[in-house]
Amino acid sequence: DIQMTQSPSSLSASVGDRVTITCRASQSIDSFLNWYQHKPGKAPNLLIYGASRLQSGVPSRFSGSGSGTDYTLTISSLQPEDFATYYCQQSYSAPRTFGQGTKVEI
Amino acid sequence: EVQLVESGGGLVQPGESLRLSCAASGITLSSSWMYWVRQAPGKGLVWVSRINGDESIIKYADSVKGRFTISRDNAKNTLYLQMDSLRAEDTAVYYCARDEFNGGWFAFDFWGQGTLVTVSS
C-alpha cells in the first residue's frame, strides 16, 4: 500500500491567515491526490481532487498543487468555518490510503 | 440529492458481532466502488474494506481480514459490513463512501455521516 505522510499534524491559526498543509506519498502518484475536510460528527467533505481541481461548491480560497510525491493544500484566507481536520488521500492505486490528518485550530 | 445513511452501530462486548448498513439514495450502489472507512478515537481515517460494482473484487485491511465481511443488496441499494469477533481496537466511527471516477480522477465524492461502534466489556 502507498503510505501518505502529512505535515504538520496540527497548527494554530487565526481568521484571515494563509494556511499551508503538505502531504508526501511513498511513491509517485501522478497527481492522483485528494484533500478532504472533516469536522467532528460530520461526514468528510471532498475539497480538491486530482491534486488541484476544486470540487463543485467548494470556496475558491481552497487550492491544491503538487506533483510526483509532494502535494500542498492552501487556504488563502482562513475563515471561522474552516477550523477542522484535513486529510490527503491518494487515488493512484487501491486501496485508497489517507494521511494521518492535520488539525487546524485557533 | 445523494444520501448515504449508516446504521447498526452500538456497544458490544469483545468477541460479539454487529452488522452495519449503509442505505443509499440518489446513487446506484451496484454501479459503484464502495468503501468502508473507520476513525478510531483521536485517530485518522483508515480504509477497512472495499467492493466493486459486480462484487467481483472485494478486499479487506489486514487488521480485519477473516473477521469482517462486506456485501451489498442491490434490490435495497444497501451496503453492509458484517463484523464478527470484535475487538477493543475495532472501536471507531465507521463511514461508508463512494469511490467515483470523474473526469479522469478517482475520489470519495459522497460519504455517510458515520455510525459509532464501541467494543468494551
pLDDT digits (tens, 9 = 90+) for A54-94: 999 999 999 999 999 999 999 999 999 999 999 999 999 99
Compute the distance between CA of residue B103 and CA of residue B77 in angstroms, rounded to an integer: 25
CB-neighbour burial class of residue B84 (10 A; exposed 0-12, middle 13-18, buried 19+)? middle
**C-alpha of B103 from chain center:** 25
Bridge partners of B86, per DSSP, are none
B101 or A35: which leads in pLDDT: A35
Cβ of A55 within 8 Å of Cβ of B111? The answer is no
**C-alpha of B32 from chain center:** 13
Compute the distance between CA of residue A99 and CA of residue A36 in angstroms, rounded to an integer: 10
pLDDT, tens digit, for every residue of B17-57?
999 999 999 999 888 999 999 999 999 999 999 999 888 99
Which of A4, A21, A37, A91 best tests the B interface by mutation, with the highest count of B CBs <10 A?
A91
Residue type, position B80, single letter: Y
Residue B62, pLDDT score: 96
Which of A29, A96, A103 best tests the B interface by mutation, with the highest count of B CBs <10 A?
A96
Chain B residues whose beta carbon lies within 8 Å of the beta carbon of residue A96: 35, 47, 50, 99, 106, 108
Find, among B22, B6, B15, the residue nearest to B67 by Cα. B15
Q: Where does chain A show beta strands of DSSP type E?
A: 4-7, 10-12, 19-25, 33-38, 45-49, 53-54, 62-67, 70-75, 85-90, 97-98, 102-105
Cβ of B45 within 8 Å of Cβ of A53? The answer is no
Question: What are the distances in angstroms from CA B40 to CA A45, A63, A76, B50, B86?
Answer: 18, 28, 31, 18, 14
Contact B94, B115 (CB under 8 A): yes
Q: Mean pLDDT across chain A, nearest whole number?
A: 96
Q: And the C-alpha cell for B24?
A: 443509499
Average pLDDT over residues A24-51: 96
- Is beta strand B115-119 parallel, antiparallel or unpaired with respect to B10-12? parallel
Average pLDDT over residues A91-105: 95
Question: What whole-number percentage of chain A has pLDDT above 90?
Answer: 98
Residue with cell 486530482: A50
pLDDT, tens digit, for every residue of B68-100?
999 999 999 999 999 999 999 999 999 999 999
Contact B28, B72 (CB under 8 A): no
